[in-house]
């Protein structure tokens, strides 16, 4: 079942999926907003900047313009960073046809509007057939065809199953879901906790601290997600707990690497620059903090990380403040209900 797939954005993740899909026999055309980067991709037949040593299949072409990539496509895959998703969709809109399916793989919340990617898509193009793909999936492994499992979510199960059939390979297992909000919140919010895990590592704290941070961080992720329409069970799945585990523990994680540098005393600005790619958690922390205040949801870890990366509090003082909060029942949300 060979399909034509356009990939909008040639960072590490977009490139890894382009390689995966072309290796599976699909015709893939990849475009990027940076003309110099496009030229390098064409010349080198690999993404030396973001995913080195992963060669392109003959069925993976590089497009100079969005129209060239999207023309005749069955799937249009958006892999631009979350803060640029609106711009990427805007550039694609003149060439999108009703029968095309948009698959978004960006993980974040738009800062200015506090919208998830599906909400942006619905605002800009209400009839767009939208699917989100998320889960524990580092580009460095997917691009090298290492075993990976993800979830795809759409409001209509049949649409999620359509994308599942196209993306499924013997190294890339895909599960379906209809909780778009839950899958998007899981993918976005875990980046904040991964920043915190990195800060903890950078400060020299141990496994106990990281385990506590991840566990209570998951509580916060679920708490905000459910308050804003997500299903609680989704956060125990691939886009929640699965993505949280891999992002908090792997050195492939930009968010964790950035956090380690901050924990070692590097300024957030310098740490982000040193990572060399977009660190989504730096943007999502502020958006999640604002959403929590609007929704009246308590998120002390998220608030602490937001304050640390914005220079409002020293990391050690933030840890002390979290450790000395009032005594609570572990299952307080359920216990009080």
Give yes or no for a contact between 288 and 298, defined as CB atoms under 8 angstroms apart: no
Give the separation between CA 10 and CA 252, rounded to whole angstroms.
Answer: 18
Give the separation between CA 222 and CA 236, rounded to whole angstroms.
Answer: 9
Q: Which of 3, 91, 107, 190 is labelled catalytic?
A: 190
Give the total residue count for the chain: 337
Give the separation between CA 294 and CA 274, rounded to whole angstroms.
Answer: 33
Give yes or no for a contact between 43 and 82, defined as CB atoms under 8 angstroms apart: no
Active site residue 190: yes
**Helix (H), strand (E) at residue 230:** none
Phi (first) and psi of residue 164, to 5 degrees = -55, -45
Contacts of 332 (CB under 8 A, 6+ apart): none
> Cβ–Cβ contacts within 10 Å for residue 110, how many?
20
CA gyration radius, the chain: 20
Helix (H, G, I), strand (E, B) or coil at 150: strand
Catalogue the active-site residues: 190
């Amino acid at each position: 079942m060979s399909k034509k797939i356009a990939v909008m954005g040639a960072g590490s993740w977009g490139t890894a999926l382009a390689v995966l899909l072309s290796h599976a026999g699909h015709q893939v055309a990849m475009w990027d907003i940076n003309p110099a980067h496009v030229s390098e991709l064409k010349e080198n037949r690999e993404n030396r900047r973001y995913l080195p040593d992963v060669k392109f299949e003959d069925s993976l072409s590089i497009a100079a313009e969005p129209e060239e990539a999207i023309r005749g496509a069955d799937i249009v895959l958006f892999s631009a960073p979350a803060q640029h998703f609106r711009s990427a969709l805007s550039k694609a809109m003149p060439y999108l046809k009703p029968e095309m399916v948009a698959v978004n793989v960006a993980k974040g919340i738009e800062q200015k509007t506090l919208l998830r990617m599906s909400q942006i898509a619905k605002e800009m193009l209400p009839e767009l057939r939208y699917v989100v793909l998320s889960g524990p999936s580092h580009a460095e492994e997917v691009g090298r065809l290492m075993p990976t499992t993800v979830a795809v979510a759409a409001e209509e199960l049949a649409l999620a199953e359509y994308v599942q059939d196209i993306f499924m390979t013997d190294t890339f297992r895909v599960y379906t879901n209809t909780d778009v909000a839950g899958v998007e919140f899981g993918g976005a919010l875990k980046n904040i906790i991964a920043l915190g895990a990195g800060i903890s590592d950078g400060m020299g704290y141990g496994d106990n601290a990281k385990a506590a941070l991840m566990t209570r961080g998951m509580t916060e992720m679920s708490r905000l997600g459910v308050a804003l329409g997500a299903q609680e069970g989704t956060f125990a799945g691939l886009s929640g707990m699965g993505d949280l585990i891999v992002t908090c523990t792997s050195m492939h994680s930009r968010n964790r690497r950035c956090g380690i540098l901050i924990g070692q005393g590097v300024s957030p600005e310098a740490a982000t620059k040193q990572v060399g790619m977009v660190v989504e958690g730096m943007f999502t922390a502020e958006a999640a903090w604002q959403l929590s205040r609007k929704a009246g949801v308590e998120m002390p870890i998220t608030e602490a990380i937001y304050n640390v990366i914005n220079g409002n509090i020293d990391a050690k003082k933030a840890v002390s403040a979290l450790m000395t909060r009032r005594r609570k029942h572990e299952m307080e949300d359920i216990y009080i209900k």
